[in-house]
Amino acid sequence: MKLLSLAHNIVEMVKGPAKIEAMDIINVAIELEHAEDNISDAIPHITARLFAISFPDMASTLPSGVPDALMQQSLELVLKFGNGHYR
């Protein structure tokens, strides 16, 4: 259940609360589940991939493909995960 909460937070962070779709949450949760012991490493990659899929035009104009503020939020989720918030 905690991974589902983490997946929801990732989708909300990328797409905003008004654009959350259940399939996005499910897909992110599946990716997190497959990451197993490397979830902390997977969070930024999943965030970047979801952003690129959701906003391809914007992603293609950014040097890293992801806004710096979004990557910072992603790293904050990694820190929360590491501190046991999602366990």
- pTM for the complete prediction? 0.91
Amino acid at 49: R
Predicted local confidence at residue 78, as pLDDT: 95
Of 61, 59, 62, 63, the residue nearest 49 (C-alpha) = 59
pLDDT, averaged in runs of 10, over the chain (87 residues): 92 96 96 93 96 95 93 96 87
Predicted local confidence at residue 87, as pLDDT: 76
CA 74 – CA 36 distance, rounded (Å): 18
Predicted local confidence at residue 15, as pLDDT: 96
CA 11 – CA 69 distance, rounded (Å): 15
Within 8 A by CB and 6+ apart from 15, the residues are 21, 24, 50, 54
Provide the phi-psi class of 21: left if phi over 0, else alpha when psi is between -120 and 50, else beta: beta
Burial class (CB in 10 A: 0-12, 13-18, 19+), 27: middle
Predicted local confidence at residue 37, as pLDDT: 86
